[in-house]
Amino acid sequence: MSLIVQKFGGSSVRDAQRLRNVAGIIAETYLEGNDVIVVLSAQGDTTDDLIAKAQEINPRASKREMDMLLSTGEQISVALCAMALESMGLPCVSLTAWQVGIQSTAVHSDARIKKIDSERIRAELDQHRIVIVTGFQGVDRGGDVTTLGRGGSDTSAVALAAAFRADLCQIYTDVDGVYTTDPRIVPNARKLEEITYDEMLELASQGAQVLHNRSVELAKKFRVNLEVLSSLERKPGTKVKEVTNVEKTNIAGVAKDTSIARIALIGLEHNPGVAFQVFDLLGKHNINVDVIIQSIGREESKDITFTLHRKDLEEAEEVLNAHKAALRFDHIETDAGIGKVSIVGAGLVSNCGVAARMFEALYEAGINIQMINTSEIRVSVLLDEEDVNRAVKAVHDKFFDEA
C-alpha cells in the first residue's frame, strides 16, 4: 500500500462533470489499495469572480481580507469533491487548511508553509478515508487565513507529500506532461518521460508554465517524487525526480520567454561600485534584473546592459533618470522587444559542445544573438522578440530531430 497525493487544478474541477471525472481518478487510486490525500484549487473562474466582487467594493482591500475572501474558493471545491466521492459510496472527508493545521507565515497573499500538523489527516487516513484538502492556503500563528501566492496549490500538494512521506505526488493539470518545448510552436515537440528537479526548475523559470518554481524547489528539498499528468487523458505523464535514466548527451527541453525588455546605461564613469549603485537602486524599487553584461566602452567610460521584465521597464527608466546626476551616465537606451530562448539539461555542464550546437542552429537560421547567459544546466540567448518562435523551432530541430 502506498500513500499518494493527487493535486487537481482549477480547470480540472471547474464544473460538476469535471469534478465527477476527478472523483473517478481518485476512486481508482483508492480502490487499488492506496491511501490518498487530494489537494484542490478553486473551481475555474471562482477566484476571478471573487476578485471582481472585491474590486467592486474596494479596489484597495487589505490582503488579510482578500485572503479571507479568496480562501472560500478552495473550500467550495473540496466540499463538492467530497460529495462526488460520497455519491460513489467512498469514505472521504474534506478539510480546510486550518482544520489540517497547515501553518504558514503571516504574509497575506504570499505566505510560506512553515509546518503541517499530522494529527487530523493521520486520524482520517487510519479510518481509511480519502482526505481532500484545500490547496493554496494556510493559517498563521494568530489564527488568520493566509494564501500562498502563485502556484500555491502545487506547493500545498508537495508540502503535504513531504510531511506524510508520500510515495508519489501527482500534479494533474490540463496538459499531459512536460514537453521538450511548446507544442503550439513546434508541433513535433516530445513529451518527456522523466526530468530532474534542476531541469524542471530551469525550464519553469525560463518560461515553461507547467509547474511553479516554489513547488519544484520544495520537492527537490524533500525528495518528493513528482508526476505531472493530465486529468482528462488517462496516460502516464512526466516524472520529476532527483536523477533520471535518460541518456545525458541530450537536453531536456527548449524554453522561451517573450516578456523581456533591455536597458543599456551608456557612458558610465569607470569607477568601482557603479554597478552596485545601479542594481541596489533598482532592488529598492522591487525591480528584478535578469541578465547583466558590462563592457568597457570608448574613452575609458563603460556601458552596463541588463534585461528585466517588460512590465518594469517604464518604472526602471524613470528611477534611473531620476538618479542620473548621482549615477553619472551619459544616456539610456531601451528596447522593449526582447525575447529569450533557453536550452536546459542536467548533462549540459559536462558536454561543452552543447552550447555550440545551439549557436550553430541559430546561425543556420540566420538569427542574430544579442546576449548570452548560462548556468550549470542552461544556456540562454537573448534575441529580437520576432525571432523567438523561429529560434525555438531551429534549436529544437537541431537537438531532437537530428539526434
In the complex, least distance from residue 77 CB atom to its own copies, rounded to whole angstroms: 10
- The residues with which 327 forms a beta bridge, in sequence order, are none
Decide if residue 115 touches its own copies (CB under 8 A).
Answer: no
Decide if residue 75 touches its own copies (CB under 8 A).
Answer: yes
Residue carrying the nine cell digits 482544520: 99
Q: Which is nearer to its own copies, 65 or 335 (CB)?
A: 65
Q: Quick one: which segment of 67-75, 190-198, 214-222, 314-322 binds its own copies (CB under 8 A)?
A: 67-75
Decide if residue 87 touches its own copies (CB under 8 A).
Answer: yes
Q: Quick one: which segment of 107-115, 143-151, 179-187, 257-265 binds its own copies (CB under 8 A)?
A: 143-151
Question: Count H helices, E strands: the chain?
Answer: 13, 18
Residue carrying the nine cell digits 525571432: 387
Query: Using the rule CB under 8 A, which residue among 11, 24, 45, 72 binds its own copies?
Result: 72
Q: Which residues from 13-42 bind its own copies, rule CB under 8 A?
A: 16, 19-20
Q: Do strands 137-139 and 145-147 pair parallel, antiparallel, or not at all (unpaired)? A: antiparallel
SS3 201: helix
CA distance 59 to 30: 44
Q: Which is nearer to its own copies, 124 or 312 (CB)?
A: 124
Q: Quick one: which segment of 28-36, 61-69, 259-267, 316-324 binds its own copies (CB under 8 A)?
A: 61-69
Decide if residue 366 touches its own copies (CB under 8 A).
Answer: no
In the complex, least distance from residue 166 CB atom to its own copies, rounded to whole angstroms: 23
SS3 239: strand
CA distance 101 to 86: 24
- The residues with which 92 forms a beta bridge, in sequence order, are 130
Q: Which is nearer to its own copies, 49 or 401 (CB)?
A: 49
CA distance 394 to 392: 6
In the complex, least distance from residue 83 CB atom to its own copies, rounded to whole angstroms: 4
Give the number of residues in contact with its own copies, rule: CB under 8 A: 38
Decide if residue 84 touches its own copies (CB under 8 A).
Answer: yes
Check if the beta carbon of residue 341 is closer than 8 Å to that of residue 255: yes
Query: Using the rule CB under 8 A, which residue among 1, 126, 143, 286 binds its own copies?
Result: 143
Cα→Cα distances 151→70, 137, 213, 323, 373, Å? 15, 11, 8, 36, 26
Q: Which is nearer to its own copies, 100 or 346 (CB)?
A: 100
CA distance 262 to 240: 33
Length of the chain in residues, anyone?
403
Residues that bind its own copies (CB under 8 A): 16, 19-20, 50, 53-54, 56-58, 60-62, 64-66, 68-69, 71-72, 75-76, 78-80, 82-84, 86-87, 93-94, 96, 98-99, 120, 143-145
